[in-house]
Structure 1
Amino acid sequence: MPEKAAAPMPHKGLLLRLLRILAWTLILVAVACAALYLAFGPARLAERLAPPPPTFPATVVTSPDVLVISTPTPTAPPADSGELVALMLESTADIWGEFLARGDFAYKQPKLQLYRGQVANPCRAKGQFSGPFYCSEGMQLYLDMDYLEALQRQSPELGSFALSYVIAREVGFHVQNLTGVNGWIKEFRQQGTSAEKLATAQSLLSDCLAGSWISYAQRKYAWLRPGDALPMLEAINALNKGRGASLPPLRDDPSNIDVQMRGEWLDQGITTGDPRECTLLFTSQVE
């Protein structure tokens, strides 16, 4: 009886061709994955997300009707410092919100924390601190009511203007945070600019941004008198330098910066009402 013929084996050449195609497919997939990683991987992703130099809108609404809130215009500042704080935060939100809406930014209120005398471990810093200051982490605005009231007592003729300015200046740090200035500062630091120089420039930038706010807010609040800006800064410096050694250190103390220079930056903001001019001053300061 004849034997059954064995089943035919796959052609060896066909198997080799299939293996070669599979190998080239795997190589192409690996190359594509490597290209995607280089284009969109962590290193390039960090580069793509790096904040560009901050830019502010080119135009500002100058009609006071647009910037005025619905409450009646006060004839005098509130006697209570807490009411003044609330009024100034409402005003800064109105003006900066209206202004930043014309750019690529949205204004978000900082988280307010009122305290008296001292606060422990703010902004991830160990110890007790005092005075007004801003923490970019968590967007927290700390206002020391003892400090504000001491300023009002020391210079009653400038008190409401000085308090309003102090609050607007700290909000200026918040605006820097919202518009990417903090990321811009990191880039300057990576390029070798000293931390001290950057801290001074950032402090002056907040002076200028406070001036930009005053430029528009003075239409509504009669106690904001730009002509008193330099005496006001000198009064704040005197308060900061005259504090007793027993008091906790000020978290934000600009009294080490020349008061004339601070006055020039503040005046730039008041005169132009244009934060873009403030960023130009900032760039000239750190470059």
Structure 2
Amino acid sequence: MRWRGRRQSSNIEDRRGRSGGFSRGGLRPGGGLRLPVKSGGGLVTLLIVGAIAWFVFGINPIALFGGDIGGQGSYQTSQTGAGGGVQSTPGETDDFVATVLADTEDVWGRRFEEAGEIYPEPTLVLFNDRVQSACGIAGSATGPFYCPGDQQLYIDLTFFEQLQQQLNAPGDFAQAYVVAHEVGHHIQNLTGVLGRLNEARRTLPQDEANALSVRVELQADCYAGIWAHETRSAGYIEPGDIDEALNAAFQIGDDTLQRRSQGTVVPDSFTHGTSEQRQEWFRRGYETGDFGACDTLEGRL
């Protein structure tokens, strides 16, 4: 991805180095959205972590699917392209993430303006170890997430290392896909989808609530595809970029993650969609660039 020397977003709040990442008092109810990641010796399973995050902290397991990663305060040699992600010299990953966020602001700002609306830009919070949001307290093991309660994205940049080294999804565009996916949840919050999901899941049986979460997650993948479509039109896409995003979508599919972590697949527990579904909906957004083509919900919310 051609990102160096371009505009960077100013909507970044750096909480790294703060004790516990806390900068606000009190917890408020809300849902969040993310990606499951490996922690220590194994992959945190969707079923356990999703249940804890969703029902204890009010963080939607969708939050367990959105990831970034860079370094824990210090980076090593810079590496981009040829399958490598942005990881490295101090601040380089920060600059990359700020550039990708700026791209999403441009894309969705234009889309909202065309619809006669103003796009409220989300803030991206960088943290390490754990962080407090309006959705509750989250640790690094839960991965990047979006919190509707404060309209902020939260990222511990060490997730990028896990994305590349543990989830087999290298490349700077894989990392960009994760940021764009979380911004996709912000779009869903603005359009009322997340509010309707949180309302519906209070009364639905678990398997039906999971099925709705899958549809919401796939829509965020499709919105990430729209961002990629616009990025291509702007001339920032390099050969291999889309393959990196599609591979990342595959590696974080529920079936692939469950097969890797527990050796079996339990479809009723899916909250994000299969590898094939995630690739399909990202590709649909990328190829069409059409907001209407991302209707995964089909009137279900």
TM-score range, shorter chain: 0.5 to 0.7
Write the distance in 2 (CA, Å) between the matches of 1:241 and 1:165: 21
- Superposed, 1:59-138 pairs within 5 Å as 71=6, 80-116=92-128, 118-125=129-136, 128=139, 130-138=142-150
Unaligned segments of structure 2, at least 5 residues: 8-79, 262-269
Match of 1:273 in 2: 289
SS in 1 for 2:154: strand
**TM-score under structure 1 length normalisation:** 0.60
- Superposed, 1:169-184 pairs within 5 Å as 169-184=181-196
Match of 1:261 in 2: 277
Kindly indicate whether the alpha-carbon contact (under 8 Å) linking 2:225 and 2:289 is maintained by their aligned counterparts in 1. yes
How far is the alpha carbon of 1:130 from its aligned partner? 3.1
How far is the alpha carbon of 1:189 from its aligned partner? 5.3
CA change 1:201–1:104 in 2 (3 A) is farther
CA change 1:147–1:237 in 2 (3 A) is farther
Unaligned segments of structure 1, at least 5 residues: 1-69, 245-253
What is the aligned counterpart of 1:212 among 193, 207, 226? 226
Match of 1:283 in 2: 298
Write the distance in 2 (CA, Å) between the matches of 1:78 and 1:121: 26
Alignment: residue pair count:
207
Write the distance in 2 (CA, Å) between the matches of 1:255 and 1:191: 17
Write the distance in 2 (CA, Å) between the matches of 1:189 and 1:92: 29
CA change 1:184–1:231 in 2 (3 A) is same
How far is the alpha carbon of 1:109 from its aligned partner? 1.5
Kindly indicate whether the alpha-carbon contact (under 8 Å) linking 2:126 and 2:155 is maintained by their aligned counterparts in 1. yes
CA change 1:122–1:138 in 2 (3 A) is closer
Kindly indicate whether the alpha-carbon contact (under 8 Å) linking 1:218 and 1:225 is maintained by their aligned counterparts in 2. no
CA change 1:264–1:255 in 2 (3 A) is same
Q: Higher Cα Rg: structure 1 or 2?
A: 1
Flag the structure with higher helix content. 1
How far is the alpha carbon of 1:81 from its aligned partner? 1.4
Identity among equivalent positions (%) equals 32
CA change 1:221–1:241 in 2 (3 A) is farther
Kindly indicate whether the alpha-carbon contact (under 8 Å) linking 1:101 and 1:107 is maintained by their aligned counterparts in 2. yes
Write the distance in 1 (CA, Å) between the matches of 2:230 and 2:173: 14
